[in-house]
Structures are given as structure tokens and as C-alpha cells.
Structure 1
Amino acid sequence: MQNQSFITEFVFLGLSQNPTVQKTVFVVFLLVYIATIGGNMVIVVTILCSPALLGSPMYFFLAFLSFLDACFSSAFAPKMIVDLLYERKTISYKGCMIQLFAEHFFGGAEVIVLTSMAYDRYVAICKPLHYSSIMNWRLCGILVGVAWTGGFLHSIIQILFIYQLPFCGPNVIDHFLCDLYPLLELACTDTHIFGLFVVANSGFICIIIFTMLLVSYGVILFSLRTHSAEGRRKALSTCGTHIAVVVLFFVPCIFTYARPPSAFSFDKMVAIFYTMLSPLLNPLIYTFRNMEMKNAMRKVWKRFVVVSDEK
């Protein structure tokens, strides 16, 4: 169905109208984005260049998660950072739809990857003797395929619903990115049903999966009673980092989507957290207490230094 929109572009109000504040935020966000891409790609390159890590499903999923974080951040950050240099911040209707699609595509895929990582840890800790037979490469490949497919289906459903809405009047979005609720506020029709759909399709799904993940990690931690002290320490360290990443990802998403479509003054702050800070913190959390990752990074770094010296 052809949409009934007469609007060709939207105007963002951004984070602030103060030029001095915008310049400061520009520098901070540019550094955060560079660190996000750098940190996540270091993890991807380290795992791909380390056969011992790449042979482990846990690190295979970690590389995939880091790649998704880099893509997720890149869906917003470059546009948001460049907009801070301009007084008038605009985005075309098509550009807005692409940004909305990218957010839910990579976000939806990340939800499935985080769930896969939780299942991997459950099998490794609760069924160690069957780990290699259960977490084989065929299953890992299937889970990656499910992540891409699930992210695409989730995103395309959102786009198809938004595309039905007529935008014929106001085009000013009190935000720095295109998202579902800010767009619903501008539609020239009653969006109550659409708002409930967003809560069901994004909010409740986040709550259900978040609850399932917390329960699964609870089962894992409960099962550690039978492990040795060293085994408990290692498992707790690994699960602790996973739980931290899950909380950082799901809590802002639940706050954003699992409520009626009403504007809160701190919505933008929550959006900054899941678009900028969460993808930045994930690589730090995963590498901070992980000796295997640290050692692999050193080896890969030394290898690159040797190669560059030989040239």
C-alpha cells in the first residue's frame, strides 16, 4: 500500500539548541563513536585472528555481537554527530525509514545473539560433558541465521506499520533520531492502536526475553554449587560479564518501548545510553576481566607489529 505522507523531510530538535553545548557534545560523541567502533572491531579482529578463540562458540558469538554493536551504533551516531554542527537538523522521509529499519534490524538480531550466548553458557556449565555435541558449528550457524532473520522480520514489521501512517502536518521531531514513538506523535491519524502494537511487538518481547535470560542465568549460578572453587570463580566471572551486558541492553529498551506512547523529558538520555554508551561499554565489559581475550589481543598486536617491522 502506498503511504499517504505529504512530508518529504523531518526536522530534529536534537539534544540542545545551545551552540556551545552542541560543540562540546560533538567532541564527546565523536570520541565515543571512534572508541565504540575501535573497541568492537578490535574484538572482532582478535577473535578472527586467534584460532583458539574462533574455535569456541562463546567467542564466535562475542565476535558477532561486537560486529552488531558497531553496526547498531553506526545506524545513528554519524548522522547525530554531523547534525551537531548545524543549526537546522533535517532527515529525509526515506532516510528516516532507513534509520528506523537499521535500529530494529540490528537491535532485534542482538537480542537473539544475547539469548544464544546465554544458552551457550547454560550448556557449558550445566551440561559440560555434552557441550561439544550440543554446541556444534551447525547449531552456531543456525543461531546466526535465526538472528539475521529474526532481526529482519522484527524490523520489516515495524516499517510496514509506520509506512501506513499519513504524515501531512507537523514534521518537527523532539529527538535526535527517528524512532517509533516520536513518529507516532506526528501522524495525522489516531495512533492509539499503533502505540499498543509497539508495546506488544517491542516492549513485551523485551520483557519476556529479559526475564527468560535472568532466569537462565539464575539456573546457571544455582548449578555452580556442585563445581570446584576454581570452576565457580571462572564461571561467575564469565556469567557476570554476560549479565552486565544483558542488563545494559534490555533495561533501556524496556523503558523505551514497554510503556504507553507518552513523551518523557529523559527519553533522549535513555536513547543516548542504548545508542552510544551500551555499544561502547560492551567491549570493555567483555575484555576487562577476560584473560583469554587480553592474551589473544597481545599476541595479535605483536603479530601486526612484527609484520609492519618486516615491511
Structure 2
Amino acid sequence: MAEVLVYIDHVDGAVGKPALELLTLARRIGEPVAVALGDGATDTVDTLAEHGAARVLTHDASEYADYLVVPKVDALQTAYEQVSPAAVLVPSSAEGKEIAARLALRIGSGIITDAIDLQAGEEGPVATQSVFAASFTTKSRVSRGTPVITVKPNSAAVDAAPAAGAVEALSVAFSDKATGTKVTSRTPRASTGRPELTEAAIVVSGGRGVNGAENFAIIEALADSLGAAVGASRAAVDAGWYPHTNQVGQTGKSVSPQLYIANGISGAIQHRAGMQTSKIIVAVNKDAEAPIFELADYGVVGDLFDIVPQLTDGINARKG
């Protein structure tokens, strides 16, 4: 069986759900070989083996933390040359897309970004994409070289499939460009206790209808009752009601949760582009003609200040 190289994004050895989804998808098109880099790389092995990694290639060096992107590309290219895989899978994060693009350029291959599904094909892996602001779904394949594919979070259910997980150390020679951009300082982001927006299974968002920063407490309360992430429309972010890091949309973050609840959001194409691939969409808006209802699986016409607190209370009551 052909091998599939999977780049593992982890934090000090803790493997996130998107990486495990990549392993699940990789098994559809071949045998997963994971690449884990940096501090804690060897701590990922048990988790990766449990989810299908036949081999785990590891390497740790200060360059991964001290410099941006290029050292990781060097390492992934080394792994590619060692494995000669049928495809390379990378998470569709901001960093992941840059790593994938640089790798594809180096090895002279085509790249597919923001895939939401993968299947084996006679002429290579076939990726399903949601394109043109999620207005169309297409199936694509790379026609030149080894496919480099980035996959959006929440695109596949994580499925455990224990494998050998044999550990192999990579020998990486960093290029001259690896030290071109140095990290000079870091400021930890304040933790809210909520899941990461792009990885969350449930997202609760607020828009112009929230009518003020102080009113986002209502949105946060609903999110917390569901164990969800909080999102915001561009209008809410531009008004200064919620941080830009929480913006969902074409100029913000793309999310694809199991459940998306839009509160006071009209549903302009800019916002829809960032959440249209959500599995179930619920909309709350007092305007019955709002475009969001064209997209919603369930819609509630009414004042969010009446509906959202009742929904929160109902969820908390059921939790007992």
C-alpha cells in the first residue's frame, strides 16, 4: 500500500483533533506516515499510533521554535524525500497552508487547499472542496507531481485504528533560509476556557443584532452551556464589540463545526463563506427576510434578546 505523509501540528506533544482527522483521511488513500517536529514530538507517538500511524518520523531542534515556517518545510521536505509518498496532508491552518505551499513549490507538485473530504482515485487522491464562497462543491485532483493537500478542521470524524507507530528519527539539514525570520518574543493569548474557534464542534456567533460589546455576554453564556467556541461577524468585529481573532467569514476564519448557531447575523456572502460548510446551521434573527434563513437548517424569527437566554436556560436545565 502506498504511504501518505501526514504533517502533525501539536503543542508540546499534545495532538489536536485536526491532526487525528488527517490520519483518518490518510487511511482512505494509503498507509499514514506521521511527521512530528519540535519539543514534545516523541510524546505524540502513542496517540498517533492509536489513530493509524504506521510510522512516526520525529525531529527536535531549537530552529522550530526560534524561526518561522521554513525549518518545518525543510524537515517535511526531508521526510518527503525519504518516504516518496503518494500524497502529503497538512492541516488548513494559516501556518499549515504556508508550509504546504512552500513544499509544493520545492518538489514541483500541485497543491489543493481547504479540502473537506478525500477519496482514493485511479489517477491519484481526489479531494472535495467547497469553493467560490462555499457556493459550489467540486472534486479536484493534482495533475502534476505528488499531491500536497491541506484539509479543513472538522472534515472527518476521528476514527481510532491502532497501528505500529514505529518511531524513526529524521536527519534534517536546515537550509540557509531557515534562519531568515526570527521570533523575537511571544505573548501568550489569554485563555477563555473555550475550544479553539476553527477546531470547535459547536460554534455560537453574534452579529450586528447583538447591538453592543456588553451584549456579547448573552452569546458567551449560550456558548458555555454547549461547550462551544464564540464567533462574531465582520460587522460586530469592525464595531469593536468582539476581538478580530473571533471573526468568522471570508476575511476572518473559516469554520466547519457540527453545529453553528448564528444570532443577529444577516448572512451576507462574506460571512457565509466562512461557515457555510457547517453540518447543521441554526439562525436566530428578527428579520424574516434575512439571507441567513436561506442557508439555515433551522430558523427562529424573533428577538435574540428573548430567544437566546431561553435557549441557554433550557440547555442548562436539561444538563441538570
**Alignment TM-score > 0.5, same fold:** no
Q: Which is richer in strand?
A: 2
Structure with a larger share of its residues in helix: 1
How high is the TM-score relative to the length of structure 2? 0.25
